[in-house]
């Protein structure tokens, strides 16, 4: 998945586009959206005092929320693809469209238990300050409930009428990380599809 015309500085690229299975292909595509989410989130932290990067400009004050929306859409889609990868890897066809919780419930019990164990292990190691900050949802079921429809909700957030609020939230970032690391634990060779940033 190298950009047309070759890789250029700062452009994400995948190191391989050869897939042995559908599950592997789904994982590789999910990894691209995963890194896109992190890159956009990092871009949102740039300020007018940040040294300029070629082709990257700080955002206008107050526009960080728009970049957050883009980051959430990419993260939610990465989570969706990672779940579909695991479902395919179990020999089934995913049915849950964009709903993270529905897709999670399509996984066999052993995989669900492993995801819960890994999630709880990471939360258990988190510092009290991180937990208190509210940036990490400690309860996996709550994170899934809150983030179940994030892909659709944040993608169409502009449709929310002025002066109305939305309950849209995305608290499944840790969940996406757990899915990626579980897949790579089961298929270490798939790390060749990891996305890198050129210097």
What is the H or E stretch that residue 195 is in? Answer: strand 195-197
Q: Which of 49-53, 108-112, 116-120, 166-170 has the lowest mean pLDDT?
A: 166-170
Structure tokens given for 182: 């579980």
For residue 140, what pLDDT is reported? 83
Name the burial class of residue 23, with classes exposed (0-12), middle (13-18) and buried (19+) by CB atoms within 10 angstroms of its CB.
buried
| pTM of the predicted protein model | 0.74
What is the domain partition of the chain in residue ranges?
Answer: 12-197
Q: What are phi and psi of 197, to 5 degrees?
A: -100, 125
Reference 85, options 123, 39, 29; nearest CA is 29
For residue 12, what pLDDT is reported? 44
Reference 138, options 153, 150, 127, 154; nearest CA is 127
Q: How confident is the model at residue 112 (pLDDT cuts 50, 70, 90)?
A: very high
More confident residue, 165 or 127: 127
Strands (E), the chain: 12-14, 195-197
Does residue 163 come out as left (phi exceeding 0), alpha (psi in the -120 to 50 range) or beta?
A: left
Check: CB of residue 147 under 8 Å from CB of residue 127.
Answer: no
Q: What are phi and psi of 161, to 5 degrees?
A: -70, 145
């Amino acid at each position: 998945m190298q950009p047309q015309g070759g890789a250029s500085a700062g452009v994400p690229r995948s190191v391989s586009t050869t897939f042995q299975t559908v599950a592997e292909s789904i994982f590789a595509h999910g990894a691209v959206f995963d890194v896109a989410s992190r890159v956009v989130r990092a871009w949102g932290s740039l300020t007018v005092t940040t040294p300029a990067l070629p082709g990257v400009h700080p955002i206008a004050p107050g526009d960080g929320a728009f970049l957050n929306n883009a980051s959430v859409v990419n993260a939610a889609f990465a989570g969706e693809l990672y779940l579909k990868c695991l479902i395919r890897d179990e020999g089934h066809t995913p049915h849950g469209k964009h709903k993270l919780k529905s897709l999670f419930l399509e996984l066999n019990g052993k995989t669900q238990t492993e995801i819960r164990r890994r999630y709880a292990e990471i939360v258990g190691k988190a510092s009290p300050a991180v937990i208190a900050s509210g940036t990490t949802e400690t309860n996996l079921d709550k994170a899934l409930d809150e983030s179940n429809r994030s892909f659709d909700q944040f993608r169409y957030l502009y449709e929310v009428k002025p002066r109305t609020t939305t309950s849209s939230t995305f608290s499944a970032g840790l969940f996406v990380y757990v899915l990626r690391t579980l897949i790579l634990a089961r298929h270490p060779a798939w790390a060749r599809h990891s996305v890198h940033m050129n210097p």
